[in-house]
Copies of this chain bind each other. A is one copy, B any other.
Amino acid sequence: MPAEAQPGAGEGMSAGDGRKPLLRALGGEVVWPPPLWLMRQAGRYLPEYRELRAQAGGFIRLCTTPELAAEVTIQPIRRYGMDGAILFSDILMVPWALGQKLRFAEGEGPVLEPLRDAASIAALQPEALRERVEPILDTVRLTRVALDLHAPRVALIGFAGSPWTVAAYMVEGHGSRDFHTARGMAFSDPTLFGRLIRTLVDATTDYLVAQIEAGAEAVMLFDSWAGMLPPSQFRRWVIEPTVTILRNVQRLHPSVPVVGFPRLAGPLIGEYVQRTGVSTVAMDTAMDPRFAASVVAPNVGLQGNLDPPALVAGGAALEAETRQILAAMRGRPFVFNLGHGIEKVTPPEHVAQLVRLVRSGG
């Protein structure tokens, strides 16, 4: 894996500082040009991924076969030499490991047997989680060994979905524009919904700790549907559970950066960061980086937030959007990323253009 031979890999380090640039920035240091990685960088826009996925025999199979999942995790590093490799997996592997039926239907997205009542929530199997995620932890171990050998400047990022977002899928049973059922249960039966959230807080904590102990050097909490909640519910179902997870993970592993991604939190991003104590907060595409910088303490990292369609467009649009973000973030602890997952139709050469641009520091 010739990642280290890639021009630019590992740039941005001060001479004599041996720590990985991504971990320094996620931990609150200013590193410039900023380190970068891209959400869903291991994915369908890469021909080598599509080829491997076609052979793997299903998405869950791919996520639970360590050799394949590790290879997919490393593919974008080999091509572009990003500063971070994110574990190839899915936020719904936690419900799957809790015993909820899950399948990934081609072209249709994930389908879960929906949880709608106390009995189905009580039937979840938290005691089974640790064993069921073992193949995913093996992926972490394998990937870490490969990176240490071939790309020692690249940090390995583990992740999980946040309780609110994962619960929304578990109750709804599938992706949704509105998650009416889940939002309805949160209002009409907060006791029952709270029981599901507590199960997920514990499972997520254990899962992240296990990823760290298997070799993940930073972890990220994806709360893709945080922005669906009004402020009172955002505090109850997004902030409070995240506070508990962070406290428990950081008690055991105080030096591992935790990235929070409360997507579409809007003006509540400042309160989220202050209450949860995340090391870095990821900005979604709609977030004005200058606003985030004005409400987030200067020793907390920011990550983001290029709009994926600008990466599809490439050329002048990509350059203008990228330069604006870099200009707004100069002087901050910052990690360049997208504000949402990379699109399937992204031309791989546009990713190369973006990496060059960011490596030049704007």
Contact = CB atoms under 8 A, between A and B. Distances in A.
Interface string A290-318: 01000000000000011101101101011
A267 interface: yes
Interface in A159-203: 175, 177, 180, 183-184, 186-188, 190
A268 interface: yes
Interface in A264-283: 264-268
Contact of A232 (B184, B227, B321, B339): B321
B187 A232 contact: no
A109 to B, nearest CB: 10
Contacts of A18: none
A47 interface: no
A343 interface: yes
A233 interface: yes
A230 interface: yes
A22 to B, nearest CB: 23
A61 B172 CA distance: 34
A298 to B, nearest CB: 18
A19 B35 CA distance: 59
Quick one: which of A286, A312, A339 has the most chain B CB within 10 A? Answer: A286
A231 interface: yes
A1 interface: no
A6 interface: no
Contact of A180 (B266, B267, B287, B309): B309
Contact of A227 (B264, B306, B343): B264
A291 to B, nearest CB: 4
Contacts of A313: 184, 187-188
A325 to B, nearest CB: 9
A324 interface: yes
A36 B309 CA distance: 39
Contacts of A233: 307
Contacts of A229: 285-286, 307
Nearest to A176: B177
A267 B287 contact: yes
Contact of A309 (B177, B183, B190, B315): B183
A228 interface: yes
A187 B309 contact: yes
A148 interface: no
Contact of A184 (B230, B234, B312): B312
A349 interface: no
Nearest to A291: B267
Interface string A138-157: 00000000000000000000
A278 B312 CA distance: 34
Given A228-B285, A305-B230, A307-B233, A317 B266 contact: no
Contact of A230 (B231, B307, B343): B307
A306 B230 CA distance: 8
A288 interface: yes
Interface of A: 175, 177, 180, 183-184, 186-188, 190, 227-234, 264-268, 285-289, 291, 305-307, 309-310, 312-313, 315, 317-318, 320-321, 324, 339, 343, 345
Given A266-B287, A267-B267, 6 more contacts: A183-B307, A184-B312, A187-B321, A227-B264, A232-B320, A265-B266
